[in-house]
Amino acid sequence: MDAYHKVLVKIYELTDGKDNVDVDFADLLKKEGFFPSIEDIKSYLSSESWITETKRVNVVRITHWGVAEAKRSLSSGPDPKTAIEKDSRALINSAKDLALMAEELSGAPSKDKVKAIESKLEAVRDLVNKVKANL
């Protein structure tokens, strides 16, 4: 999710999707770490008609189009089943590579090969953790 959508979703969460609630845009962007880009973000969200500015400086309201876009952004998160399939395939390939590396080590032992195996083993552990996170 890009910075614009992150800010839009945050506005949506703060307002509970109501278009009559004021949001201090400057304060929000300070909390989210995007304050240096305040004008760019406000300009983009306004040009997309996702927010409207109020009479007060840096106070905005979400529009019904903004609500719809925020909902779409929230629902378009990665599908856990697809992520598991992708990570499982990567895990299988990494495990095969690890087995080949172990065979090479048995044929010609060296410290460099052991270090490479340790590195690949860490990658396999990371992939197992990714799969577990999506279960």
Low-confidence residues of the chain: pLDDT under 70: 1, 77-80
Q: For position 44, what pLDDT does the model report?
A: 94
Contact 60, 72 (CB under 8 A): no
Does residue 43 share a domain with residue 97? no
Q: How many domains does the chain have?
A: 2
Phi, psi of 101 (to 5 degrees): -65, -35
Q: DSSP code of 77?
A: S
Q: For position 73, what pLDDT does the model report?
A: 87
- For 22-41, what is each residue's pLDDT tens digit? 999 999 999 989 999 999 99
Helix, strand, coil % (nearest 5) of the chain?
70, 5, 20
Does residue 90 share a domain with residue 68? no
User: How many angstroms from the chain centroid is the CA of residue 133?
Assistant: 14
CATH of the domain at 11: 1.10.10
Q: Which residues touch 118 (CB under 8 Å, ≥6 apart)?
A: none
